């Protein structure tokens, strides 16, 4: 399996609706990082952005979770090509 495109990281809030992304990095303070890891947004987790711009609705590990825009901007993801 090969990757043809360079790894592009963007905040979860900027991921296009319906797109799957792999969590690459969590930014923010230690308490925030620990909390979102407990919610399933650990590094390498796959997350689908379901909808939203102000409040971001995501699907991760079979659960739908709503995040504020501020929280979603601290979760950096790599968009995945799901052909």
Q: Which parts of the chain fold into alpha helices (H)? A: 30-38, 69-72
Structural domain boundaries enclosing 65: 10-79
**Residue 14's domain is classified under what CATH number?**
2.30.30.90
Task: Please state the domain count of the chain.
Answer: 1
CB 79 within 8 A of CB 21: yes
Does residue 28 lie in a domain region?
yes
Tell me the per-residue pLDDT of 4-39, one tens digit each, with 9 for 90 and over: 456 799 999 999 999 999 999 999 999 999 999 999
Does residue 3 lie in a domain region?
no
Does residue 2 lie in a domain region?
no
| Residue 56 banded pLDDT, cuts 50, 70, 90 | very high
For 70, phi and psi rounded to 5 degrees? Answer: -60, -40
Does residue 44 lie in a domain region?
yes
């Amino acid at each position: 399996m090969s990757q043809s495109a360079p790894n592009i990281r963007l905040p979860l809030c900027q991921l296009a609706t319906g797109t799957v992304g792999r969590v690459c990095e969590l930014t923010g303070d230690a308490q925030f990082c620990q909390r979102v890891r407990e919610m399933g947004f650990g590094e390498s987790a796959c997350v689908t952005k379901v909808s939203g711009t102000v409040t971001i609705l995501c699907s991760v590990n079979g659960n739908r979770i709503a995040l504020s825009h501020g929280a979603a901007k601290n979760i950096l993801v790599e968009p995945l090509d799901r052909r």
